[in-house]
Amino acid sequence: MTVKLFDTTLRDGTQREGVTLTIEDKARIARRLDTLGVHYIEAGFPASNPKDLEFFRSFEQPELGHAKLVAFSRSRRRGVAAADDPAVSLLTELSAPVACIVAKSWDFHVERVLRVSPEENLKSVRDTVAYLVEAGKEVIFDAEHYFDGFRANPEYALAVLRAAAGAGATTLVLCDTNGGTLPTELKAVVSRTVQEFPGVEIGIHTHNDAGCGVANALAAVEAGATHVQGTANGIGERCGNCDLITTIANLQLKMGLRVVSDEQLARLTETANYISELVNITPDAHRPYVGRSAFAHKGGLHVDGITQDPRTYEHVPPEAVGNARRMPVGELSGKNTVRRKAEELGLDPGDVTAVLRAIKQKEHEGYHYEAADASLALLIARTTGEARRLFTLESFRIISEKRADGETTVEATIKLVVDGKRVISTAEGNGPVNALDAALRRAIEPHYPELRNIHLSNYKVRILDEHRATAATTRVLIDSTDGKKTWGAVGVSENIIEASWQALVDSLEYGVNGVTREEG
Ligand SMILES: CC(=O)SCCNC(=O)CCNC(=O)[C@H](O)C(C)(C)COP(=O)(O)OP(=O)(O)OC[C@H]1O[C@@H](n2cnc3c(N)ncnc32)[C@H](O)[C@@H]1OP(=O)(O)O
Ligand SMILES: CC(=O)C(=O)O
C-alpha cells in the first residue's frame, strides 16, 4: 500500500493564531517540504488575499523537484456558475497543477451557513469539480465536517462524496474539521466510506481539538485511507492539525509504510526545527520524535539501561529521525550518568559517589545543571580536586546611583589576588552585573589574555520560590561563547548579585580552563 503525504502548513497551518508568513518564507518552507519527500504541498488560498495570489504567480511547479503544488479554494457560491465565481476561476489562471476544493458535507452547515438546499450544494460540488477537471487540474476534494455530517445524516455525507467523485475528483478527503471525533468512531466511518468508493483514493484530514489528530490519521490509514493531510509540527487553527512530522515517523517506523526514503526520514528533526524557526514558534522540546528532549534520558535507572542497550528505553533509534540521545545530569541521576557525563566533558570523575552527592545537594539548593555544562564540569573538577581557580576574591562592592534627572549609573569595585598579586579595579556598567563583569575582567585580563575572546551571550534569571516575594531565591543562568563554542553556567542565591557573580565566575573559569584545555 502506498500512502501519499499532503502538507497544508502553508494554508491550514497559517490559520493558527499568530502565524503569518511572507512570500519568501512560504517558498523556503515549500522547498524544504519538497526535500523531505511530501507528495503534495498546499501553499495557500489564492482568492483569500493578495499575498497568497502573488505566491502562486511567483512560485511555480518547476521550483519543486518531487511534490505537486496545490492551490486551495471552496465550492462555487450559490446562484453563480463556477466559471463566474472568481474564487474558483482564479485557480484556472494559475500554474499549480492541483486544486483542492473544500465543500460542506454536513447538512446542518448547508442549511445554517450556506443557506441553500441540499440539492443546490450537491450541484455546486459537481459544477466546481467538473469545471476544474475540464480546465486540466487534478482535483482533490476536502469534505468539510465529514464525520459530524456522517453522524447526522450518512446518506447526505456520502452523496456529497459521490457528487465530487462523479465529477472527476481523484481523491476524496474526509475532514474532521471540528477535531472532536475519537479514533474508534473515525475508523469505522472511514472503513465504511472506503467500501462505498472502490478504486477511489480516500484521504484523511484531522484536527487536534480532542488531542487525537495524529491517532485519527493513523486509524484512517488502518481503515484504508491512502492520502494523509497534516501540517509541520501540527500548527493550525485552534488546537492545530494532525502533525505530519509525527505522522511520517509513525507511518514509516511503526506501520511499515514507506512514505519517504531513509535519508529523508533522517532529515525530519532538521525540517521540523527549520519550519518552527520560520513560523516563529519556539520548538516544543517534547515533540514526539523530533523534540530536543525526545531522546533525553534523565532518570538514573533509565541511563543505566540505555548504557547496556539503547533499546531498553528508546522506542526507535534517534538517528532514524535525525535526532540525538542526551543524558541530562541532575537530582534524578545515578552514578552511570555521572561517569558518562564526565567522559563527555573529558574529566576524570574520581569518586563518583562523592560527585553525585555534591550534584544532588546543589540541585536541592536550587542549582540546575541541565543547561549549565560549565558549572557541572567545574563542580566535578572541584569535587575531585582538579579545579584551578583563576583568582582569590577579597571583596567587591557595587554602587547604583539614581539621579533626579532619571539617569542611573552603576559602578563596581573589586579587590582580589591573582598570580600572588593584590589587584583593585573599578569599572562602570549599564547594570550591576555588567559593571562587575567589567571590573573583574579589568583585574584579571592581563593574566589571562584569552578572556578577550570570551563574551557573555545570554543572561537569564528565574525566581525559584516566588511566594517569598523580594526574599525569594534567584537562579541565574549565563551563556558564554568564544566564537566557536558556547557554554552555560549557573548561580543560586537569595541575592541576585551573588547568584550572578557565581555564574559569571564559572563562565570565565570554564572559558579559561575548560575550553582552552579541550582545544589544546
Ligand atoms: C475548514 C477550512 O479550513 S476551510 C478554509 C477556511 N479558511 C479561511 O476562511 C481563510 C481564508 N478566508 C478568507 O480570506 C475569506 O473568508 C474569503 C475570502 C474566503 C471569503 O470572504 P468573504 O467573501 O468576505 O466571506 P466571509 O468569509 O465573510 O463568509 C463566507 C461566505 O462564504 C460562504 N461559504 C462558506 N463556505 C462555502 C463553501 N464551501 N462553498 C461556497 N460558499 C461558501 C458562506 O456562506 C458565506 O457566504 P455569504 O457571504 O453569502 O454569507
Ligand atoms: C478543509 C479543512 O481544512 C477542514 O475541513 O478542516
Domain residue ranges in the chain: 4-260
SS (H, E, C) 135-201: CCCEEEEEEECHHHHHHHCHHHHHHHHHHHHHCCCCEEEEEECCCCCCHHHHHHHHHHHHHHCCCCE
- Which residue's entry shows cell 550534584? 359
Ligand 2 centroid from CA 292, angstroms: 30
Contacts of 326 (CB under 8 A, 6+ apart): 292, 293, 295, 296, 297
Determine which helix (DSSP H) or strand (DSSP E) holds 72, and give its type and residue range.
strand 68-74
- What's the number of CA atoms in the CB half-sphere (13 Å) around residue 7? 32
Q: Which of 85, 114, 129, 132 to mutate to test the pocket of ligand 1 (most atoms within 8 A of CB)?
A: 114
| CA 128 – CA 122 distance, rounded (Å) | 10
Position 515 scores a pLDDT of 56
pLDDT in tens, 288-304: 999 999 999 989 999 99
Strand partners, 424: 415
Q: Which ligand is nearest to the CA of 175?
A: 2
Following DSSP, what letter does each residue of 292-309 receive, concatenated? TTTTB--SHHHHHHHHH-
Q: Which residues line ligand 2 (CB under 6 A)?
A: 12, 102, 142, 144, 175, 177, 205, 207
Position 340 scores a pLDDT of 86
Contact present, 99 and 91 (Cβ < 8 Å): yes
| CA 271 – CA 154 distance, rounded (Å) | 39
SS (H, E, C) 347-360: CCCCCHHHHHHHHH
Measured from the CB, is residue 77 less than 6 Å from ligand 1? Answer: yes
Q: Which ligand is nearest to the CA of 229?
A: 2
**β-strand pairing of 98-104 with 4-7:** unpaired
Ligand 2 centroid from CA 439, angstroms: 60
User: 3-state DSSP call for residue 22?
Assistant: coil
pLDDT in tens, 139-185: 999 999 999 999 999 999 999 999 999 999 999 999 999 999 999 99
Position 386 scores a pLDDT of 81
Ligand 2 centroid from CA 466, angstroms: 44
Q: Whose CA is nearest to atom 45 of ligand 1?
A: 114
List the Cα angle 207/205/102 in 5-degree steps. Answer: 110
In 10 A of CB 388, how many CB atoms?
Answer: 9
Position 371 scores a pLDDT of 82
Position 385 scores a pLDDT of 84
| CA 297 – CA 429 distance, rounded (Å) | 41
Ligand 2 centroid from CA 34, angstroms: 22
| CA 209 – CA 88 distance, rounded (Å) | 30
Ligand 2 centroid from CA 48, angstroms: 15
pTM over cut 0.80: yes
Q: Whose CA is nearest to atom 27 of ligand 1?
A: 48
Position 210 scores a pLDDT of 98
C-alpha cell at 178: 471540528
Ligand 2 centroid from CA 142, angstroms: 7
Determine which helix (DSSP H) or strand (DSSP E) holds 107, and give its type and residue range.
helix 107-109
Ligand 2 centroid from CA 216, angstroms: 14
Q: Which of 144, 150, 171 to mutate to test the pocket of ligand 2 (most atoms within 8 A of CB)?
A: 144
Position 93 scores a pLDDT of 97
Measured from the CB, is residue 229 less than 6 Å from ligand 1? Answer: no
CATH 3.90.580.10, domain 4-260, yes or no: no
Low-confidence ranges of the chain (pLDDT < 70): 515-520
Measured from the CB, is residue 47 less than 6 Å from ligand 1? Answer: yes
Q: Which ligand is nearest to the CA of 74?
A: 1
Position 388 scores a pLDDT of 87
Position 384 scores a pLDDT of 84
Position 519 scores a pLDDT of 38
Position 282 scores a pLDDT of 83
* DSSP letter, residue 386: -
pLDDT in tens, 194-213: 999 999 999 999 999 999 99
Which ligand 1 atom is at minimum distance from the Cα of 144?
A: 1
pLDDT in tens, 7-41: 999 999 999 999 999 999 999 999 999 999 999 99
Measured from the CB, is residue 104 less than 6 Å from ligand 1? Answer: yes
**β-strand pairing of 68-74 with 98-104:** parallel
Position 389 scores a pLDDT of 93
Measured from the CB, is residue 423 less than 6 Å from ligand 1? Answer: no
